[in-house]
Amino acid sequence: MRSRHTLAFAAIAALISAPLSAAERHAYSAKAFDAAQAAGGPILVEVHAPWCPTCKAQSAVLEKLEAQEKFAGLQVFTVDFDSQKDALARFRARMQSTLIAYHGKDEKGRSTGETGEAAIAALLDRTQ
Cα separation, 1 vs 103, whole angstroms: 50
In a domain? residue 90: yes
| Residues of the domain holding 33 | 21-125
Residue 18's φ and ψ, nearest 5 degrees, are: -75, 150
Q: According to the model, what pLDDT value does residue 22 have?
A: 83
* Residue 113 one-letter amino acid: G
Cα separation, 107 vs 2, whole angstroms: 54
In a domain? residue 2: no
H and E: helices and strands count for the chain: 5, 5
* More confident position, 69 or 1: 69
Q: What is the pLDDT of residues 62-99, one digit of tens each?
A: 999 999 999 999 999 999 999 999 999 999 999 999 99
In a domain? residue 4: no
The CATH number of the domain holding residue 49 is 3.40.30.10
The continuous run of DSSP H or E covering 13 comes out as helix 2-17
In a domain? residue 53: yes
* More confident position, 111 or 10: 111
List, edge to edge, every strand of the sheet that includes 24-27: 24-27, 75-80, 42-48, 98-103, 106-112
CB of 62 within 8 A of CB of 46?
A: yes
Look at residues 125, 118, 128, 123 and name the one whose alpha carbon lies nearest to residue 46: 123
Number of structural domains (the chain) is 1
Q: What is the pLDDT of residues 19-72, one digit of tens each?
A: 456 899 999 999 999 999 999 999 999 999 999 999 999 999 999 999 999 999
In a domain? residue 69: yes
